Amino acid sequence: MFERFHEDARQTVVLAQEEALLFDHDHIGTEHLLLALLRQPGTVPATVLARHGLEHDDVGDRIGRLVAAAAPDDLDASALESIGIDLDAIREKVEATFGPGALDREPRSRRDRPWRVGGRLPFTRRAKKVLELSLRESLALGHNYICGGHILLGLLREGEGLAAKVIADAGVDFDTLRQEIRAELG
């Protein structure tokens, strides 16, 4: 499938990895694909999304807030207690096994992480699905290549990843966005 990728689609994959690393993530998700599309001014995705008020820095901030809100550090201890999980007891057991402050250590450097095999981050299941759907979108439009516009159509068609949530939360209508992208792609 990657042999069909136009230069901007290839650049999207490269930039998505950079975006994931900037967030210190161990994967490439739909949110990183969206940010990568927005980092390419003058392309169909960046132009169409900008018309709907979606700019790279603002989207990055929204994603950062959503990711932080979902982080395990932000879990409500009383909610966990209500289902029988005592965080203090867990901390005591971990520290008894691994030493005081074991849960407070900084994460290893990126170079030391086992998931970074060959310098590439793995795609999440949803991100892989988006890339597969971008091929389907390309074929549906009668194109023999995949460009950034097709990837954005794939993001919309997948519809459940963090990228889709950010677009929906911005009040953008998916059907309108699809029509605009398709019109731009010809």
Q: Quick check: is 116 in a domain?
A: no
Please tell me the predicted confidence (pLDDT) of residue 111.
42
State phi, psi for 52 to the nearest 5 degrees: -100, 15
Please tell me the predicted confidence (pLDDT) of residue 112.
46
Q: What is the pLDDT of residues 124-170, one digit of tens each?
A: 999 999 999 999 999 999 999 999 999 999 999 999 989 999 999 99
Q: How many whole angstroms separate alpha carbon 158 and alpha carbon 155?
A: 5
Q: Give the DSSP per-residue string, 132-178.
A: HHHHHHHHHTT-SSB-HHHHHHHHHHH--SHHHHHHHHTT--HHHHH
Angle of helix 148-158 relative to helix 7-22, nearest 10 degrees, comes to: 60
Please tell me the predicted confidence (pLDDT) of residue 36.
96
Q: Is the pLDDT at 48 greater than 60, yes or no?
A: yes
Are 65 and 13 found together in one domain? yes
How many separate helices (H) and strands (E) can be counted in the chain? 10, 0
Q: Is the pLDDT at 85 greater than 70, yes or no?
A: yes
Q: What is the pLDDT of residues 104-118, one digit of tens each?
A: 655 444 344 444 445
Are 78 and 66 found together in one domain? no
Q: Quick check: is 115 in a domain?
A: no
Are 175 and 130 found together in one domain? yes
Are 90 and 175 found together in one domain? no
Are 17 and 78 found together in one domain? no
Are 52 and 89 found together in one domain? no
Q: How many domains does the chain have?
A: 2
Are 66 and 76 found together in one domain? no
CA distances to 66, 71, 92, 105, 155 from 77, rounded to whole Å, are 19, 13, 15, 20, 35
Predicted structure pTM score: 0.76
Please tell me the predicted confidence (pLDDT) of residue 37.
96
Q: How many whole angstroms separate alpha carbon 137 and alpha carbon 52?
A: 21
Joined tokens for residue 120: 């590439």
Are 36 and 47 found together in one domain? yes
Q: Quick check: is 144 in a domain?
A: yes
Are 12 and 95 found together in one domain? no
Domain containing residue 85 = 72-104
Position of tokens 């959503």?
66
Q: How many whole angstroms separate alpha carbon 3 and alpha carbon 100?
A: 52
